[in-house]
Amino acid sequence: MKLLARGTSLFLLMVGWLTSSCQQNGVFSTTQLDLQTETISTEFKNPWSFAILPDGRMLVTEKEGELFILENGVKSEPVAGLPEIFVRGQGGLMDLELHPSYDENGWIYISYGSSSDGREGNTTVMRAKLEGNTLTDQEVIFKAEPDSRRGQHWGGRMEFDKEGYLYISVGDRGARDENPQSLENHSGKIHRVHDDGSVPSDNPFVNVDRAVASIYSYGHRNPQGMALNPTTGEIWTHEHGPRGGDELNVIRAGNNYGWPVITYGINYNGTEITPLTDKEGMQQPVTYWVPSIAPCGMTFITGDIYPEWEGSIILGSLKYQYLHRCEMLGNKVIMQEKVLDGFGRMRTVRQGPDGYLYCSIEGKGIFKIIPVRS
């Protein structure tokens, strides 16, 4: 049954992906839109994330531990006031998120690797305010435990919902047999907290003995994409599978997403992780990818700039270096296609206040995506 499921997934990818994102004279053609890219800045090595401030400036994180302001294409000196960043493997200075009431309170949320001893670390979230080129009023509001010496699977994505709760992803930190299915640690989970880091009283495991109270869902491997569905108000994530089995999920309170008890992936050496792709009490993904596309970054498309894509999900592919569009009908993916095929390792994609899509690409920089209309 597992082999059939994998084969079906691969078949669906082959017939469902419309790989028409060909480039000619700087124009990328897709099924519904022709697109061009506008270079915002090429002065970044590994821009893990960015946030667009109301005045149009961008904050950009470099994974190796520096934060910059980008204004009219000009990169600032490193922003002062960051804590010491623990950089190991896939971890370092990661995501940025603005408070929904940023105009009133100025809070900026930053996820990063932190360590108490310089040898082990885990995903941490702080909030701070920006004054000139300096962070002030720094507060650590979340720290995942236990720390680990391993370099993989930090998660690190953040998103606010419509009620003002902050969701934080933490990967399994490479300990798949210990962390994702245990409620006694932070790793392999999606967490929900108030904007100050305190735990909501209605979180699903608040009254469960020895459970980490901030856990909202569990059984995750490495969620590196998170977005609010503006229509339903639900939080969606995607996560890296092993060799195959990347997943797109709707996150709901208390749900177990199965890793590593169920998966559509296999070990990197080709051996089986589990014979199961489904199990009672564990959630099936909205869709999954075999082979893996290595998804990263995620947003829902709204507004007038890309009306043909209204309601679609756009996410990045690190492995195959393109943007990936999922056309949605409710909570179902009805078509998938490549966008900007071969443009680069997409780390973050966001829709800015101006309605345009922006993406950060490892080794290339920050770019704006513009429809070409006759």
Q: What residues contact residue 246 under an 8 Å CB cut-off, 6+ apart?
A: 238, 239, 240, 265, 288, 289, 292, 293, 294, 295
Alpha helices in 17-108 (DSSP H): 102-105
Category of 206 on φ-ψ map: left (φ > 0), alpha (ψ -120 to 50) or beta: alpha
Q: Which of 99, 153, 186, 324 is catalytic?
A: 153
Measure CA of the first residue to CA of the last residue in the chain; give whole Å.
50
> What is the number of H-type helices and E-type strands within the chain?
2, 27
SS3 2: helix
For residue 262, the Cα-to-chain-centroid distance in whole angstroms is 22
CA distance 240 to 248: 9
Is 153 catalytic? The answer is yes
The token pair that represents 11 in the structure block: 């078949």
Q: State the CB neighbour count (10 A cutoff) for residue 218.
A: 28
Q: What residues contact residue 279 under an 8 Å CB cut-off, 6+ apart?
A: 258, 261, 262
SS3 325: strand
Q: Just list the catalytic residues.
A: 153
